[in-house]
Homo-oligomer: A and B are copies of this chain.
């Protein structure tokens, strides 16, 4: 018995790595089962289909993340902080929660972000719907908490600001290798993961607090 893990776990482990590295569409079930050392048919047996596997991989990320975020948000909302302090604590909590994903394996964070990016940009509408239905409560609480401490904004303005902030987080975590490739010659980027993630907090807070109409209209 060379394999201590079950077939399901070995598939999930291999799928997570391959999906994160090459995206959903460009990763074949044959690659996954081959790297996992299991039979090809095992995926369809245990997960029903490739879509089912994708959702299972995503759930393994989101379940602990969702739980941690939920308690963190509830704690934050019980305290009565000023808006700025609340935003700082909010983003710090988010980053810490994200870092907990990467505790065992540092590259898991990039995998997670790329997975999220694929869910939104690649044709994976089923994943998007699955996630938004499955984790709607955390998502709602997250947006409400965030909006509560950005009081000068209208719903519309907050919507787009949220959009910008989410993009910054996802893209940063997702594609650090690509940018490292480009700039490696001129700018060395050798910081550890916690440092990089940490650097995001003040940027996120500043972006969240940026004035809405401070700049003249362009057109």
Contacts and interface: CB of A to CB of B under 8 A. Distances in A.
Main SS of the interface on chain A? helix
Contacts of A179: 159, 162-163, 166
Interface stretch (A31-39, A46-54, A74-82, A185-193): A185-193
B157 A22 contact: no
Contacts of A96: 218-219
A219 B207 contact: no
How often does this chain occur in the complex, in copies?
Answer: 2
Nearest to A117: B121
13 contacts: A26-B122, A96-B219, A99-B219, A120-B175, A155-B186, A161-B203, A162-B183, A163-B176, A164-B203, A167-B170, A168-B171, A205-B215, A207-B207
Instruction: Find the residue from A22, A132, A159, A174 having the highest chain B CB count within 10 A.
Output: A159
B128 A215 contact: no
Contacts of A176: 163
Interface in A93-119: 95-96, 99, 114, 117-118
